[in-house]
């Protein structure tokens, strides 16, 4: 899986290109961890091109969200497809993330 990274002012945007599956979970977790430290938690996960997340991928998202929550922050997710939102809702973890329609709204949430 390719993960693109962009800067929007002081906010880093991570954009995974494709589904987040078990084969990519370790690399995805490592990349999220690096960005959390480097950006001091000021980052957004752009899920526009994430069609699906399997259990290991979901565990990575929940772990990152929990780690941010310990510091009083939240994992901001934008552009989630209907399928991804449904997976998050069915598994009961949707409320652990802040959801935004697009990158601009998510980035503005830091102001």
pLDDT value at residue 100: 97
Residue 10, in any domain of the structure: yes
- pLDDT tens figures, 49-103: 998 899 999 999 999 999 999 989 999 999 999 999 999 999 999 999 999 999 9
pLDDT value at residue 33: 93
Q: Is the pLDDT of residue 1 over 90?
A: no
Q: Give the ranges where 1-111 is alpha helix by DSSP (H).
A: 22-38, 55-70, 82-90, 103-108
pLDDT value at residue 63: 95
Residue 56, in any domain of the structure: yes
- pLDDT tens figures, 4-44: 999 999 999 999 999 999 999 999 999 999 999 999 989 99
Instruction: Give residue for tokens 């939240």.
Output: 74
Residue 95, in any domain of the structure: yes
* CATH classification at residue 23: 3.30.750.24
Domains of the chain: total: 1
Residue 109, in any domain of the structure: no
Distance CA 24, CA 28 (A): 6
Residue 98, in any domain of the structure: yes
For 92: left if phi > 0, alpha if psi spans -120 to 50, otherwise beta; the answer is left
Residue 111, in any domain of the structure: no
| Domain housing 55 | 2-102
Going by their DSSP bridges, the two strands 97-100 and 43-46 should be labelled as unpaired
pLDDT value at residue 17: 96
Residue 108, in any domain of the structure: no
pTM of the shown model: 0.93
């Amino acid at each position: 899986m390719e993960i693109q990274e962009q800067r929007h002012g002081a906010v880093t945007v991570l954009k995974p290109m494709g589904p987040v599956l078990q084969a990519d979970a370790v690399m995805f977790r490592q990349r999220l961890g690096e960005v959390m430290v480097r950006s001091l938690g000021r980052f957004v996960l752009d899920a526009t091109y994430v069609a699906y997340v399997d259990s290991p991928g979901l565990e990575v998202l929940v772990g990152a969200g929990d780690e941010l929550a310990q510091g009083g922050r939240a994992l901001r997710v934008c552009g989630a497809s209907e399928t991804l939102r449904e997976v998050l809702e069915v598994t009961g973890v949707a409320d652990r993330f802040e959801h935004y329609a697009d990158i601009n709204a998510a980035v503005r949430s830091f102001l």
